[in-house]
Amino acid sequence: MRPAPIRNMQWRCRHKLIDLRRPVVMGILNVTPDSFSDGGRFATAAAALDRAACIVAEGATIVDVGGESTRPGAQAVAAEVEIARVAPVIEAIRARFDVAVSIDTSKPEVMAAAVDAGACIVNDVGALRAPGALEFAAGSGVGVCLMHMRGEPRTMQDDPRYEDVVAEVGAFLGAERRRCLEAGVPAESIALDPGIGFGKLIKHNLALLRDLAAIVALGSPVLVGVSRKSFIGRVLDREVAERLYGGLGLAALATASGAKIVRTHDVAPTVDVVRIVDAVLQGSWE
């Protein structure tokens, strides 16, 4: 079944207006020592900038910079440490590339430092619920991505339970979207993320991906991130480095279901998948 059309075909993100008439790819740049897939590989500024160059060259529209791991069981990082990791990298990316940069954080202090450095999107696994985060977003003009997560990274996989995961995640995202609108965040600046793998068992992830159209129907652009996640490994019996094809299959499914932003470590193949699926849906490739 064809996904329902999305009203917001542009994502207003501070100085950037991201065209979502066709879906786009967000490339992951973790500048952390402990991320589940690539922790430590891009922890230096030089390595991070080289990786950003690859992400841009491979066709990503957005570079998502994170300075604190959100893998299950991850330990919290002080705001000043996170800022020291991400701000120089964001500033260097913006000086070299004409690309949208998002900051993957839940801390308003980090959001502010990242935006000062040139970020235009706040990608928050906490859905702007930390004190001061919503006020910052409303006053800064950033694009925001609100994600659903049961609990917090240290505890989110401790026996998460749902009666109807699709309905409950949809209700949460709808309520958080309304909260943002009431605070003054423009509708065209809001994207939603069902939080695949965040406080969810395999069956919950599969249900959300199967019925993603219900989240798309909320009316805001939907971001989906499944790249290399553990449930792919469990289903396919694959280690982290062997999960590319599973992730690409899910990226195709999400795009066909109406997702407008696909977040990934594997930019080039994901761009190809998103483009070919969209060409089929649109009946056009130009």
Fold of 10-282: TIM Barrel (3.20.20)
Both structure tokens of 172 = 């949460």
Which of 13-22, 53-62, 148-157 has the weakest average pLDDT? 148-157
Q: Is the pLDDT of residue 71 over 80?
A: no
Catalytic residue among 16, 51, 228, 263: 263
Question: What's the CA gap between 120 and 18, in Å, rounded?
Answer: 11
Reading the block at residue 53, the tokens are: 């160059």
Q: Domain residues of the chain, as ranges?
A: 10-282
pLDDT mean over 14-27: 96
**Residue 159: is its pLDDT beyond 50?**
yes
The active-site residue out of 150, 229, 243, 260 is 229
| Catalytic residue check, 229 | yes
Mean pLDDT of the chain: 91
pLDDT in tens, 133-148: 999 999 999 999 999 9
Residue 66 near residue 29 (C-beta atoms within 8 A): yes
227: pLDDT confidence band, cut at 50, 70 and 90?
Answer: very high
- Contact at 8 Å (CB) between 55 and 267? yes
Active site residue 200: no
Which residues have CB under 8 Å from 274's CB, separation 6+?
23, 24, 25, 251, 252, 255, 262
**23-69: per-residue pLDDT in tens?**
999 999 999 875 545 555 666 788 899 999 999 999 999 999 999 98
pLDDT at 8 over 60: no
- 175-188 tens-digit pLDDT: 999 999 999 999 99
The SS3 assignment for 47 reads helix
Residue 41: the pLDDT is: 65
- Given pLDDT bands bounded at 50, 70 and 90, which one contains residue 76? confident
- Per-residue confidence at 1, pLDDT binned at 50, 70, 90? very low
End-to-end alpha-carbon separation of the chain, Å?
23
Structure confidence at residue 197 as a pLDDT band (50, 70, 90) = very high
pLDDT at 154 over 80: no
Distance CA 53, CA 87 (A): 17
